[in-house]
Amino acid sequence: MAPRIGMLNSQRNELVEQEDPSTLKGKFMVGYQGWFTCPGDGRPVHDGHHGWIHWMDKPLKDGGHVTFDLWPSTREMDQDELYPIPGLSVCSDGLVSRPAQVFSSRNPKTVRRHFRWMREHHVAGVFLQRFLSEVKDGDNDIRRLRDEVLQLVRTSAEAEGRVWAVMYDVSGIKGEDVEKSIKDDILHLINVLKVTDSASYLHERGMPVLAIWGMGMSNDNHSPASLVRLLDWIQSVFLNGAYIFAGSPSHWRTRDGDCDCDPMFEQVWRKVHNLSPWYVGRFSDGEGADVFRKRMREDMELLQKEDATHGIHRDYTPVVFPGFSWRNLHGGPLNEIPRQGGTFLYRQLYNALSLNVSSVYGAMMDEMDEATALMPAEPDSKKTPQEIPFLALDADGMTLPDTWYLRICALASTALAKQAMLPSKFPLEELQAYQYDKNWRNHALTASAPVDLASREPPPLPPNRPSPEVSMHVPPVIPPRLPPALPQRGVSNQQKEERRLPPLPPNGLRLQVREPPARRQIPEMSLHDQSPSSSQANTDPKPNQATAMLNRYIATPENRAQASSLYDKVNEKTQQTLTRERKEKLARSMENVGAAGYSLFNKIKKSARE
């Protein structure tokens, strides 16, 4: 359906394009946390609270710690949108130090600015995160804060012509408590906040979209029967029913890894209208993205087959993310999953569109905590606080404009809307020259002509030879490589205590650039190889050391039950070198042990090298 044109933007006295709220199809959506607060941005969440939420756990002078990695760009923000962090300073001009400043998700001007950035980069709208753990107790302080941000999102989406929908995050809620806890808040959304009365609230098939993220995760022990009852109840309380968008485990189809293995979850997935597996942290490079493209294709084939059998129709929305880091939140290395100048995100987008998907979910717009934010970030690490390590866009050795990742989103959104394909080569020139054009839908897509969508395959990895613009060498696959842990997506700080990612192999892609000729432009880039050494790439754990360490691990009674099955598998292999396939099987087994198992596996590898 064509977008509506003619909504007046009162701040700029201009007509803005209104995204069509009647359908999800053809849209690039992003997740929106809206969870950052600062002292002075309004009434504290409760009496006596220091004011900081998600930027830090408490003021630094009181022994607090910052809890985010990616430093935001505040270049376009006005002074009344900025809040100082006592104890942190920046030197923006290289000479004079000044207090470091960040934004608040409670500031109406800032939220409006976020949605204007989306409009200027063709991002259709947001799934506003609503954590069930925060709102399940009814009318409390934190729910009032979430309602406040929801109203800002609503007015900003309407003013900037974007769409929006609520996404519940039910992670951390155990057993049947999801069904018991969510009903009152859904009625609160319908009857008090009247979210579906918003002219910009997203609909599909004539029904309002309600997203639920986290059903069926392996560590929550959800009851499939309880979730089926909940989904039936949701259909009864909305006038015309609701379009259920399910943020599912990445392994929902195979019922392993991050997914509850109960086969009754098949009944849950048949009750939803859209499946969107969570892929953040499941891979860390282009080759991993290609592996998950195969998984996406198999997911879609199963949906098509089952839908034909059961007479239903389910959509499929892939999740893409630009990179990952949570050093200041949970420790570990800074820049754990490198962004690689946007090529990592672009590879995921290319793969998703090659499967003819009708929508894409970008994680996330404003997730600074885990450094997955797509919104403008500080380009220069020298302009971030030096007291604590932070990420800037030059972390991988390149100079980029602060809007670089929104520009990549704009190209993907354009291709989605026009049902066209992205170019197989990373589009440096298009990204460098990107400027907002409100008539973009009327222009032909320069990326490539439409092709047979069913036959699309991702392009081969770039060869080891230079081209006029790009020189790239792809490092060899490193056997064995434990895949990244399966972190849940952005959740409240209280729910993040046990999550860890294992160390990643060295990044094989590096970019070198010259200084940009003008502000907000980047020069041409070149890529060169920094492959890991062959000795590191082929290192295997020594079987006897592995057995000894596992023996020590299972000596603890509480670990014995979880680790016994894994121990038996490893013990059988102690007299031979594990093949890559066996190690991958071992890695999958380690998922059942959890964070302690990952830590143990890394210790085994380290001791073997020593």
What are 318-370's pLDDT values in tens digits?
Answer: 999 999 999 999 999 999 999 999 999 999 999 999 999 999 999 999 999 99
Predicted local distance difference test score (pLDDT) of residue 127: 99
Q: Tell which wins on pLDDT, 45 or 561.
A: 45
Whether 456 maps to a domain, the answer reads no
467: exposed, middle or buried (Cβ count in 10 Å: 0-12, 13-18, 19+): exposed
Asked if 174 contacts 214 with a C-beta cutoff of 8 angstroms, the reply is no
**Quick one: 290 and 430 in the same domain?**
yes
C-alpha angle 332/335/337, rounded to 5°? 100
How many structural domains compose the chain?
2
**What is the CA 14 to chain-centroid distance, rounded?**
33
Share of the chain above pLDDT 70, in %: 69
Distances (CA, A) of 396 to 345, 377, 382, 528: 14, 14, 14, 12
Whether 459 maps to a domain, the answer reads no
Whether 3 maps to a domain, the answer reads no
**Quick one: 402 and 286 in the same domain?**
yes
Whether 487 maps to a domain, the answer reads no
User: Which amino acid, residue 249?
Assistant: P
CA distance 69 to 64: 15
**Quick one: 395 and 268 in the same domain?**
yes
The full length of the chain comes to: 610
Whether 244 maps to a domain, the answer reads yes
Nearest to 241 by CA among 277, 190, 193: 190
Predicted local distance difference test score (pLDDT) of residue 557: 53
Predicted local distance difference test score (pLDDT) of residue 395: 97
pLDDT of 553 over the 80 cut: no
Q: Which domain holds residue 402?
A: 24-38+47-76+102-442
**Quick one: 437 and 554 in the same domain?**
no
* Last residue within a domain, chosen from 442, 459, 494: 442
Q: What is the CATH number of the domain that holds 186?
A: 3.20.20.80
Tokens (6 digits) for 580: 């890559």
Place of tokens 């220069």: 380
* Last residue within a domain, chosen from 442, 459, 482: 442
**Quick one: 107 and 217 in the same domain?**
yes
| DSSP codes joined into one string, 567-588 | HHHHHTTTTSPPPHHHHHHHHH
Predicted local distance difference test score (pLDDT) of residue 96: 82
Predicted local distance difference test score (pLDDT) of residue 534: 36
pLDDT of 422 over the 70 cut: yes
**Quick one: 434 and 551 in the same domain?**
no
**Quick one: 564 and 425 in the same domain?**
no
Whether 184 maps to a domain, the answer reads yes
Whether 534 maps to a domain, the answer reads no
Whether 471 maps to a domain, the answer reads no
* Last residue within a domain, chosen from 442, 474, 501: 442
**Quick one: 137 and 252 in the same domain?**
yes
Predicted local distance difference test score (pLDDT) of residue 136: 93
**Quick one: 420 and 552 in the same domain?**
no
User: Taking residues 582-588, what's their average pLDDT?
Assistant: 53
CB-based contacts of 519: which residues, under 8 Å, 6+ apart? none
**What is the CA 41 to chain-centroid distance, rounded?**
27
CA distance 252 to 341: 31
Asked if 319 contacts 127 with a C-beta cutoff of 8 angstroms, the reply is no
